[in-house]
């Protein structure tokens, strides 16, 4: 008997973590629908990366424009706020207000529209940047809310949010990703990458990425902007 693979909406930013989450869903036997939301980041390199990653995974890719950047209030979307070179204490200026809440909400809308009950988000609470919406207790509260908000949840076909990377240090993410066939040279982590996806090498995201490859003892194919 043929059993159709279970669908799963995966938020795909084009960074390392979501690239790993994408192939993780395939390794679990699910059929991913990648969802990329262009929210007015400073650069479009991430979206190009997302397209390459979805193509490499051979999965459907849904893209959406969402002008969250018009609200400002983050160094990721507002070029008048300087990008920090050193780790902040507490929640950094790169925090985008309610970003993962908005992203998961749209993923939920897509999932329910398609009759899919699994969602996957590559959040990570270890080598993370102090964002409140990357923590397990946020994910649990979102899942609970989602199952009160939707027809599927209310009628007893609940949604489940998978966060396989939540407790993995960066080097484990890289090791698992390599094992599952991720080509990390396609991914962009840098907060201020140029249009070709070349990294600055000095922001918080670049630092975490470099340390991850060093600890995993895997060569890092990141291309850097040479000034």
| Residues lying near its own copies in the complex (CB under 8 A) | 64-68, 70-73, 91, 95-102, 104-106, 108-110, 112-114, 132-133, 135, 137-138, 141-142, 144-146, 148-151, 153-155
Residues 194, 87, 78: CA angle, nearest 5 degrees: 45
Residues 188, 190, 195: CA angle, nearest 5 degrees: 65
161 Cα distance to chain centroid: 13
Q: Which is nearer to its own copies, 5 or 98 (CB)?
A: 98
Q: Which is nearer to its own copies, 128 or 224 (CB)?
A: 128
Q: Which is nearer to its own copies, 71 or 224 (CB)?
A: 71
Minimum separation from the CB atom of position 103 to its own copies (A): 9
Contact 117, 152 (CB under 8 A): yes
DSSP states of 130-186: --GGGSHHHHHHHHHHHHHHSHHHHTT---EEE-TTTT--HHHHHHHHHHTT--GGG
DSSP states of 77-140: T-TTSPPPSSPPSSS-TTPPTTHHHHHHHHHHHHHHHHT--EEE----SSS----GGGSHHHHH
Minimum separation from the CB atom of position 56 to its own copies (A): 24
Q: Which is nearer to its own copies, 48 or 105 (CB)?
A: 105
Give the residue carrying structure tokens 């050193």.
86
Minimum separation from the CB atom of position 109 to its own copies (A): 4
Contact 190, 183 (CB under 8 A): no
Contact 33, 198 (CB under 8 A): no
Q: Which is nearer to its own copies, 102 or 202 (CB)?
A: 102
Minimum separation from the CB atom of position 179 to its own copies (A): 32
Q: Which is nearer to its own copies, 75 or 186 (CB)?
A: 75
Give the residue carrying structure tokens 């070179």.
85
Q: Which is nearer to its own copies, 12 or 193 (CB)?
A: 12
Give the residue carrying structure tokens 């060093």.
214
Minimum separation from the CB atom of position 65 to its own copies (A): 7
Minimum separation from the CB atom of position 202 to its own copies (A): 24
Minimum separation from the CB atom of position 51 to its own copies (A): 17
């Amino acid at each position: 008997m043929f059993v159709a693979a279970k669908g799963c909406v995966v938020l795909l930013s084009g960074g390392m973590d979501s690239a790993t989450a994408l192939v993780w869903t395939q390794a679990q036997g699910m059929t991913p629908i990648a969802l990329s939301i262009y929210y007015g980041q400073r650069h479009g390199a991430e979206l190009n990366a997302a397209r390459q990653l979805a193509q490499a995974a051979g999965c459907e890719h849904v893209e959406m424009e969402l002008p969250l950047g018009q609200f400002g209030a983050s160094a990721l979307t507002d070029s008048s706020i300087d990008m920090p070179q050193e780790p902040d204490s507490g929640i950094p200026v790169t925090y985008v207000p309610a970003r993962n809440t908005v992203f998961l909400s749209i993923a939920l809308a897509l999932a329910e529209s398609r009759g899919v009950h699994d969602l996957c988000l590559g959040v990570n609470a270890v080598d993370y940047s102090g964002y409140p919406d990357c923590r397990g207790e946020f994910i649990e509260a979102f899942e609970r809310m989602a199952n009160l908000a939707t027809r599927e949840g209310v009628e007893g076909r609940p949604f489940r949010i998978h966060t396989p990377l939540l407790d993995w240090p960066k080097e484990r993410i890289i090791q698992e990703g390599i094992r599952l066939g991720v080509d990390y040279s396609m991914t962009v982590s840098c907060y201020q990458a140029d249009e070709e996806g070349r990294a600055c090498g000095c922001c918080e995201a670049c630092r975490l990425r470099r340390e991850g490859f060093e600890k995993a003892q895997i060569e890092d194919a990141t291309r850097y902007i040479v000034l």
